[in-house]
Structure 1
Amino acid sequence: MKWASELSLLFVALIWGVTFVIVQQAIELLPPLLFNGIRFFCAALLLFTIIFFRKETAQLTVKTWKHGIILGICLAIGYAFQTIGLLYTTVSKTGFITGLSVVLVPLISLALLKKKPSPGAAIGSVTAAAGLYLLTAGGAGGWNIGDFFVLICAFGFAFHIIFTDAYTQSSSALALTAVQIITVSILCFLGGFLLEDWQSALTASTLLNPAVWNALLITAFLATALAFFIQTTAQKFTTPTRVVLILAMEPVFGALTAFLLVDERLTAAGLTGCAFIFIGMLLAEIPVQKLFGFRSAANKS
């Protein structure tokens, strides 16, 4: 069962990596906030339907709604700024900068919760920061506004990871997922109607364009509803460390998909930066003491 769970998580990383290219093509026609609003509404509709037919509406408690809304705000920040960033930067850079959320988690935990990061997390943070410099300012087209937006997205996902760890113990995973996803949809729709030209965007010709409805179907049902369900279920059979290591393949799949589908290439410095960020993500979750054979004084006696 363990191998099947970890293989399914690798499938989730593949889905999320592939959707970078699909989303980038779709938002050339449908503005990013409206795209996310429709995407998450479709996913939420599916999840609430499942909750209804499984007769689990009692799981939608006040606490679940409160926690789900907080998680939804974090997710909305992540997905909104990621999608907006794709308008201005490349798929490969988006994938790897988003991946910095894994490294940001221990730093935010230190600042807010006073939890000291592990040696691996500290080393990983420095390594990933160096990689970010090489990927952006160091030779991959220079730092641009899109990279900045995606960096904000990484913070949103990092806060989501921290709060999820705190909230999942007291709520149904399915109900909590449904609430946060409908929250993302509402926030993105509000942003889209206030900030984007929704009158011109929400037309039959746009919504029926294959690039748009294909992207909406894939991201809503595969990359959102199914992916979150798989992740929640699979984590019961493996460790959090292995989960993060497997999902760290997402930006790698994103860069590979960008190369295969749109012939997007990175410079030597950019490729080195990607490698540094990926190594940093791994180091952030690997127990360095065990990796190098260190043992505590208590274990030496």
Structure 2
Amino acid sequence: MGTATSEYEQASPHAGSSSLSRKLNLAPLLSLVGVTVVWGGTFVVVKDVTLQTSPVDFLAVRFLIATVVLMSLRPRRLANLSRKKLGHGVLLGLMLCGAYIAQTYGQQYTSASISGFITGLAVVITPVLAGVFLRKRIGLTCWCSVVTATIGLAVMSIRDFTVGFGESLTLLCALFLAIHIVALGEWSKTGDAHTLTVIQLGVVGLVCIALGAPDGITLPTTWSFWIPVIGLAVLATSVAYLVQTWAQARLPASAVAVVLTLEPVFAGVFGVVIDNDELTLRIVIGAVLVLSAMYLAEFRPKSTISSP
């Protein structure tokens, strides 16, 4: 049946050389880390912005602005859009929208720390889904990185843990995120990250408008609202998801899930720096464990494993 490579080498078109493979994957890996830095910083901003309008109205305007920005950069790309790629983009957008809505409403019934931990459980669900639906072998090292990342998130987040309505909604968010990561990893390999990103973001914006329409979309007219929203739309949405789509075409889904657990780490860092949160030993230990998990997922020595 030929030769089956490790997860890392499957993600690279040049798996013959481990050193070349590592170099090729370093750029998307670091780009994805950059995305988690941006997303970690948004927690402070979003908390302030959503005090001025409803979460659904905020998500609608954020994602629609991001969609318009990306469309204006390459307006002719959508003209040659295939029905298959359109379908992929719509499905990805619905998954992403489900994750955002479940997390947003779940946060109203649970603490931010518990929400961050449960959302991070996508790192556990992702390799399971990849193994079940894509029949990809998940190695022992990958599972070690998943467990390490989960323990790190737990150390940072958990103080009092009970499973209620908010926790259930947030777990649904983690499930949607895991499905999105796995599907995006497969469908982004066909190229044209720009078009796929535009469709995803547009779907999220349109669904949120539809959900907010019965009560009317109410948006403040102050600069204290619009400046952060525009920044979130351009940097944390259009640019960030474009980079994620590009990076996922070059990295295995399980590694992507581990890297994305850095988001709550950076959220904690920004909380300490900007919001004067206390830097506790729990945060330090949890952050070290998550960083160790990322090392296991991508920077460990790779080897080729032959299948019978």
- The reply to whether TM is greater than 0.5 is yes
1:139 is displaced (CA, Å) by: 1.7
Match in the other structure for 1:153: 173
1:83 is displaced (CA, Å) by: 2.9
Structure 2: distance between partners of 1:36 and 1:287:
35
Paired-residue identity, %:
30
> Are the structure 2 counterparts of residues 86 and 208 from structure 1 closer, same or farther at C-alpha, using a change threshold of 3 Å?
farther
Match in the other structure for 1:30: 53
The residue matched to 2:52 in structure 1 has which SS?
coil
1:276 is displaced (CA, Å) by: 4.6
> Are the structure 2 counterparts of residues 117 and 287 from structure 1 closer, same or farther at C-alpha, using a change threshold of 3 Å?
farther
The residue matched to 2:74 in structure 1 has which SS?
helix
The residue matched to 1:117 in structure 2 has which SS?
coil
Match in the other structure for 2:19: none
Indicate yes or no: 2:270 matched with 1:257.
yes
Length-normalised TM-score, structure 2: 0.74
Aligned partners of 2:121 and 2:174 also within 8 Å: yes
Deviating more after overlay: 75-84 vs 107-116:
107-116
1:71 is displaced (CA, Å) by: 0.4
Structure 2: distance between partners of 1:250 and 1:184:
21
After superposition, where does 1:92-103 map in structure 2 within 5 Å?
Answer: 93-103=114-124
Aligned partners of 2:259 and 2:294 also within 8 Å: no
Deviations 1:126-179 (A, max 9, x none): 44444555555x526766654443332222121111111221233522111111
Aligned partners of 2:255 and 2:294 also within 8 Å: no
Deviations 1:242-291 (A, max 9, x none): 866655432221111112222334765566556555545554x2486x37
Structure 2: distance between partners of 1:235 and 1:167:
9
User: Where does structure 2 lack aligned partners over 5 or more consecutive residues?
Assistant: 1-22
Aligned partners of 1:248 and 1:282 also within 8 Å: no
Structure 1: distance between partners of 2:240 and 2:283:
29
1:184 is displaced (CA, Å) by: 0.8
| C-alpha RMSD of the superposition | 3.6
> Are the structure 2 counterparts of residues 235 and 280 from structure 1 closer, same or farther at C-alpha, using a change threshold of 3 Å?
closer
Match in the other structure for 2:235: 222
Structure 1: distance between partners of 2:149 and 2:116:
13
Structure 2: distance between partners of 1:130 and 1:269:
11
How many residue pairs get aligned? The number is: 283
1:219 is displaced (CA, Å) by: 1.4
1:192 is displaced (CA, Å) by: 2.6
User: Where does structure 1 lack aligned partners over 5 or more consecutive residues?
Assistant: none
Residue of 86, 96, 106 corresponding to 2:127: 106
Match in the other structure for 1:185: 205
Length-normalised TM-score, structure 1: 0.76
Residue of 68, 77, 84 corresponding to 1:56: 77
Deviations 1:70-123 (A, max 9, x none): 100111122222333444555555445433323321012233344342212322
Residue of 189, 208, 216 corresponding to 2:222: 208
Deviating more after overlay: 238-247 vs 43-52:
238-247
Deviations 1:190-233 (A, max 9, x none): 22335xxx44x605xx24251x3233112111011112233445
Structure 2: distance between partners of 1:93 and 1:148:
11
Letter in 2 for 1:81: A
The residue matched to 1:226 in structure 2 has which SS?
helix
